[in-house]
Copies of this chain bind each other. A is one copy, B any other.
Amino acid sequence: MEKEISQAVISRLPRYFRYLEELRLSGVERISSQELSKLMKVTASQIRQDFNNFGGFGQQGYGYNVEFLYQEIAKILGLDRKHNFIIIGAGNLGRALGNYLNFERRGFLFKGMFDQNPDLIGTTVRGTTVMPMEELEDFIRNNDIEIAVLTIPKTGAVSVADRLASCNIRGIWNFAHVDLNLPGTIQVENVHLSDSLMKLSYNLTE
């Protein structure tokens, strides 16, 4: 991709992917931007603008080829290759994510889990044994780990993120309730659940 695509556009891609997968599974072969617009409740012009960032995906008069569009968006999202990930923090949320089989289906492979709590070390999550934090760096280097999922309290998150940076992790999926300040070479995607709940609360209050 030569051109810088805005994060707002990127944020909408997974939703397109989700709808295209449904259409594909339902046996739909072609869809116009008008039909997709109605289904997804966004304007057809928004859809065309978003897709134009990627060359437009060759819409003809009679619409997009669903299978082609699905495959192209999958490629753009990097879903055509495998991503090895580890989870740091074997509490409830970490275990929930480790058990989530859908990630596997998308090419995200759960390779290891870490915690500092002696009571959790040695327990298993979907066949993976929880390892002590001392083994983190070696494991990342020896197992081609691309993504670390951080499901630890915010107090420990910053120092763990620094350790991850020092062994060249490429991406962090951060559930810790703190902003990580890391070199620009490391991609961080935050899921701040409390922020999301507060947004709901605002909309209920207003």
Question: How far, in Å, is A96 (CB) from chain B's closest CB?
Answer: 3
Among A7, A40, A78, A83, chain B packs the most CB atoms within 10 A around the CB of: A78
Q: Is the CB of A77 within 8 A of B10?
A: no
Q: Which of A1-56 contact B (CB under 8 A)?
A: 1, 5, 7, 10-11, 13-15, 17-18, 40-41
A10's contact among B173, B191, B199, by CB below 8 Å, is which?
B199
A187 to B10, CA, bound (A): 24
Q: Is the CB of B99 within 8 A of A201?
A: no
Q: Does A91 contact B (CB under 8 A)?
A: yes
Q: Is the CB of A77 within 8 A of B194?
A: no
A181 to B137, CA, bound (A): 45
A189's contact among B95, B106, B170, B196, by CB below 8 Å, is which?
B196
Q: Does A139 contact B (CB under 8 A)?
A: no
Among A1, A7, A93, A99, chain B packs the most CB atoms within 10 A around the CB of: A93
**With a CB–CB cut-off of 8 A, which chain B residues contact A187?**
200, 203-204
Among A10, A76, A103, A189, chain B packs the most CB atoms within 10 A around the CB of: A189
A199 to B79, CA, bound (A): 11
**With a CB–CB cut-off of 8 A, which chain B residues contact A166?**
none
Question: How far, in Å, is A142 (CB) from chain B's closest CB?
Answer: 20
A17 to B192, CA, bound (A): 13
